[in-house]
Structure 1
Amino acid sequence: MEKKLGRPRCEETRMDILNASYDLLIENGFAAITVEKIAEKAKVSKATIYKWWPNKAAVIIDGYLNATSVELPMPDTGSTIEDMFIQVNNFVKFLTTRKGNVIAEIIAEGQHDSQLADIYRKAYFTPRREISKQILVRGISRGELAKDLDLDVTMDLIWGPIFYRLLITGEALDETFVKKLINYSFHGITQ
């Protein structure tokens, strides 16, 4: 008897659930999704979902990360400024898509769902912040940046204006803005 190749059945089911949660997120937004709808779309029971995830937020965030993780790779051009420009510009381009638009929805939902806020901070934002940190650390090791650079403040300086525009002002998030942002962040605003 020939052994069947492919993913184990439980991995296939897990992927069906992740894909279903992501599809529903893109189609309907976070607030409209229920565990029941995910189970129905994935053709599994709610108990199967709860076997792997503690709540709706966790499965949706995992589905989102699974679908979008390869879209924002970490650049390494040999230049800290170029790497940060690429990383930030790729993220800004992503934000203007329906997939990226979901980030604002998740942040908004997280304002009254502390469990969701904790999940997206740990699962989505912390890893992306770590990428920025790695880029800056490389810049320090290459002598491009000050050895005593405050990494956290620098990351806030770069990323804060993006989320300010995304969530507060609604002003344009585009390549022109990113170029100015990176230029001012690394070269300062003095003459």
Structure 2
Amino acid sequence: MSSDQSPARPVGRGAKVRAAVHAAALAELVDVGYAALTVESVAQRAGVHKTTVYRRWKDRESLLTDALAEHMAADIPVPDTGAIGGDLRALARSLVQAFTSPTGQAVLAAMFTGAAHLPEIAAARRHVFGDRLARAEPVVLRAVERGELPAGTDAAELLRTLAAPIYLRLLMTGDPVDESVADRAAHVALAAARAGALSAPAGP
């Protein structure tokens, strides 16, 4: 057996390897943080050789960017409760649940502190949050069609208003974040939208 082989043979090829390495990268992020994370440690945890990782990702930063983007794009389902109040509460509670978990806290720390200076991470952050807004916009559009919200409500602005107090606590103040915070954020965002405060700006 050559020196570059280990008892932990690759878990498979293609999608299976990618999933295993992503999961290992996030687990390492939780355990040791961004500064101490290495491609070698991720490969060992995933059960693959480091050369397998380097064939897919050129360095630690590109691996972490890919893992973070996929995790954040998939972790919050878009609800359809039949009423805008229920949908907004479900969205806010899912956001709280995702980012108060150990993995969620490690992801936030990496994206906004440890690796925030990296252009790749900044680009991934913009892409992920833009994609999340786009995927959740049907919640608002359905509510407008049902007559629950004024015509012309800016879906993206309503969703930003919903998320803002949650991210403020998570990233700035460190105040507790729980379902009551989520429910209050949903209530405030809904009240603002119904009052017309979140309408799309008029064209020129």
Q: TM-score, normalised by structure 2?
A: 0.76
Aligned length: 183
Structure showing the higher helix proportion among its residues: 1
Whether 1:77 and 2:47 are equivalent positions in the alignment is: no
Whether 1:136 and 2:140 are equivalent positions in the alignment is: yes
Relative to structure 1, is the Cα distance of residues 120 and 134 closer, same or farther in structure 2, using a 3 angstrom cutoff? same
Which whole-Å CA distance do the structure 1 matches of 2:50 and 2:58 have between them?
11
> Which deviations, in whole Å up to 9, do the C-alpha atoms of 1:135-166 show, x marking residues without a partner?
11121222211221122322221111111111
Question: CA contact under 8 A between 1:58 and 1:119: conserved in structure 2?
Answer: no
Q: What is the one-letter code of the residue matched to 2:178? A: D
Which whole-Å CA distance do the structure 2 matches of 1:10 and 1:176 have between them?
42
Whether 1:117 and 2:102 are equivalent positions in the alignment is: no
Q: For structure 2, which runs of at least 5 residues remain unmatched after alignment?
A: 1-10, 196-204
1:100 counterpart (104, 114, 117)? 104
Q: TM-score, normalised by structure 1?
A: 0.80
> Which deviations, in whole Å up to 9, do the C-alpha atoms of 1:24-64 show, x marking residues without a partner?
12211222212232233334444432332343233234435
Question: CA contact under 8 A between 1:109 and 1:116: conserved in structure 2?
Answer: no
Whether 1:164 and 2:168 are equivalent positions in the alignment is: yes
2:13 counterpart (9, 12, 19)? 9
Shift, 1:86, TM fit: 0.5
Map 1:33-52 → 2, pairs under 5 A? 33-52=37-56
SS of the residue aligned with 1:9? coil
Q: For structure 1, which runs of at least 5 residues remain unmatched after alignment?
A: 1-6
| CA RMSD across the alignment | 2.7
Which whole-Å CA distance do the structure 1 matches of 2:152 and 2:134 have between them?
18
Q: What is the one-letter code of the residue matched to 1:112? A: H
User: Quick check: 94-103 or 13-22, which moved more?
Assistant: 13-22
1:177 counterpart (170, 174, 181)? 181
Shift, 1:110, TM fit: 4.0
2:57 counterpart (42, 53, 56)? 53
Report % sequence identity: 26
